[in-house]
Amino acid sequence: MTMRRGIGLVILVLVVFEIQTCLSQINRASFPKGFVFGTASSAFQYEGAVKEDGRGPSVWDTFSHSFGKVIDFSNADVAVDQYHRFEEDIQLMKDMGMDAYRFSISWSRIYPNGTGAINQAGVDHYNKLINALIAAGIEPYVTIYHWDLPQALNDRYNGWLNPQIIKDYATFAETCFQKFGDRVKHWITFNEPHTFTIQGYDVGLQAPGRCSILLHFLCRAGNSATEPYIVAHNVLLSHGTVADIYKRKYKANQGGSLGVSFDVMWFEPATNSTYDIEATQRAQDFQLGWFIEPLLYGNYPSSMRSRVGKRLPTFSKSEATLIKGSLDFVGINHYTTYYAKNNSKSFVNDLLNDSLADSGAITLPFRNLQPIGDRANSIWLYIVPQGMRSLMNYIKKKYGNIPIFITENGMDDSNTYISIKDVLKDEKRIKYHNDYLTNLLASIKEDGCNVKGYFVVFIG
């Protein structure tokens, strides 16, 4: 995260204020009673203090300090310094009227070596953060794993590629339940497992940077044809193991619930052809379906099983029983919408030989050279508010009306050559949130979608 701290937080205050009071007919009272409004972050992107109070290094510390891995050569050694300044951040949240704050716990701050002795200073920090939130009337929503695998576990046995990770992750998660579960009632076991699986083990653009496709010159090791599926399988079994532990040992006394936050683009068919319509469904199967269907039904989508074949791991009967029905709620991180079209070029698929090629779908934000919507600052983020409503209805229709939290939504905007006075107006971002919230509200009130909350993320 590269924004200047003060400006960014003030902008977020203004965005929330404008959304709630000025821009449109909707406001907080428009949403059902008990609907949660919050903001969200992650430990690596916000905390800083990477070498303080016993914290061990994570794969993202290593990755961000490796030459050529981050375009602007930035790192998160300081980030926005929330480790030291969480009290003033909480005051800003209180001033905004936030109901909740979603944050993650740094695994290597609790277990510097991934396993072994607990670092009490790390436990003390999160206890102070949680207690301060509750004192301010803000409910903590805690993500147990937000990509920052302890480097020690990556060095010891390649982290998520080894089934040993299931046991070590379960130990870490149970420690969180023991230390914080008396006050934390909403747990998110994983943030965007699809993202860190693809970006970390297929295309190699994020930590730990493994790949074997065209970008292999960026990666020291990896197998894009198999590793994403192995990582995803271990993630799913880790969630199931932890959900079982929580249900058996903690849920009755603590009264909490567990979910996963999935990254989900909405896809529209590029044309009305049967090929593109079918490709659109496959794109969604290889994104959301890959992770949600095992946790709801105990198996991968049929399209994945048929197209990936023996490279896709299988669940034993006991494993399927373990993971099936292990979600109390679904977290959705939604930002944008793309077109999807059939990929019939077998030579390209053979060349790539990875999970993206396996889907047989090409997803792009353009059709006939025309963008699907106005672009934010990031090259991948196009503004398509109606995608939010379409996605909520898709989940309701395909997966039942399971409770949903929008655990991330937001956009970035370039402000490099703009005065602070103009930056603080932030009109484009205000309109983005207003329009996405309007579509979200319609999905709730007009379509009956079971959405329980909305968390803003400030990007850029």
* Dihedral angle computed from the Cα positions of residues 250, 256, 257 and 261, in that order, rounded to the nearest 10 degrees: -110
Write out 7-46 in H/E/C secondary structure: HHHHHHHHHHHHHHHCCCCCCHHHCCCCCEEEEECCHHHH
Q: Of 394, 229, 255, 242, nearest to 326 (Cα)? A: 242
CB 19 within 8 A of CB 48: no
- Does residue 427 have an active-site annotation? no
Q: How many alpha carbons lie under 13 Å from residue 420 in its C-beta half-sphere? A: 8
Cβ(432)–Cβ(388) under 8 Å?
no
Q: Which of 62, 181, 193 is nearest to 126 (CA)?
A: 181
Q: Is 158 left (phi over 0), alpha (psi -120 to 50) or beta?
A: left
Residue 322's nearest CA partner among 350, 295, 304 is: 295
Task: Respond yes or no on whether the N-terminal peptide bond of residue 208 is cis (omega within 30° of 0).
Answer: yes
Tokens standing for residue 331? 């977290």
Q: In the Cβ-directed half-sphere of 320, how many Cα atoms lie within 13 Å?
A: 10
Could you say which of 139, 192, 293, 319 is catalytic? Answer: 192
Cα(34)–Cα(236) distance, integer angstroms = 30
Whose CA is closest to 147, among 43, 54, 69? Answer: 43
Residue 334 phi/psi, 5-degree rounding, is -125, 130
Q: How far apart are CA 165 and CA 177, in angstroms?
A: 18
- In sequence order, the β-bridge partners of residue 203 are 211
Sign of CA dihedral 35, 239, 210, 359: negative
Tell me the two tokens of residue 444.
């709730």
Q: For strand 374-375 and strand 382-383, is the pairing parallel, antiparallel, or unpaired?
A: antiparallel
Surface-to-core class of residue 1, CB atoms within 10 Å of its CB (0-12 exposed, 13-18 middle, 19+ buried): middle
Asked if 52 is an active-site residue, the reply is no
Beta bridge pairs of residue 453: 36, 405
Query: Is residue 208 within 8 Å of 165, Cβ to Cβ?
Result: no
Pairing of strands 337-342, 366-367: unpaired
Residues recognised as catalytic: 192, 408
